Structure 1
Amino acid sequence: MPKHHIALTENDIARIINGEEIIFKVKGEEIIVRQSYAKDIIADMLIRQNRVMNTASNTFEY
């Protein structure tokens, strides 16, 4: 099965975090990357070196 790697810039990641979509074309197919509308059922159990801070609510987003 072929693999396709999609590299995101810091700007792309910021756009996703802020609710926007990133659109790519791979072999004529359109691929849309966005944040999930659903929350994870279980909290992330790993302690990550870097986390995203929601400055509106002063909470960490995983």
Structure 2
Amino acid sequence: MITSLGNIRDALADADPQDKADVYQNLGLRLTYEPGKQLVRAEAQLDPHKLGIWSVSERGLDH
């Protein structure tokens, strides 16, 4: 999946801020900043329905 996106880092660097926000929301991205440690923790909860990843089992189907 990641390979098919190409160089997403470069694409996001030049993207419109609202487009970036949409991408991050669809990734379920959550950033938590800890100022005392100057640390940002990033978590993503990927939902295949939002990312367009589909799988189909063809077991038992006749053509």
Instruction: Bin the TM-score by the shorter chain.
Output: under 0.3
Structure (1 or 2) with the larger CA radius of gyration: 2
Q: TM-score, normalised by structure 1?
A: 0.25
Larger RCO, structure (CA 8 Å, separation 6 or more):
2
More strand by share: 1
More helix by share: 2
Q: TM-score, normalised by structure 2?
A: 0.24
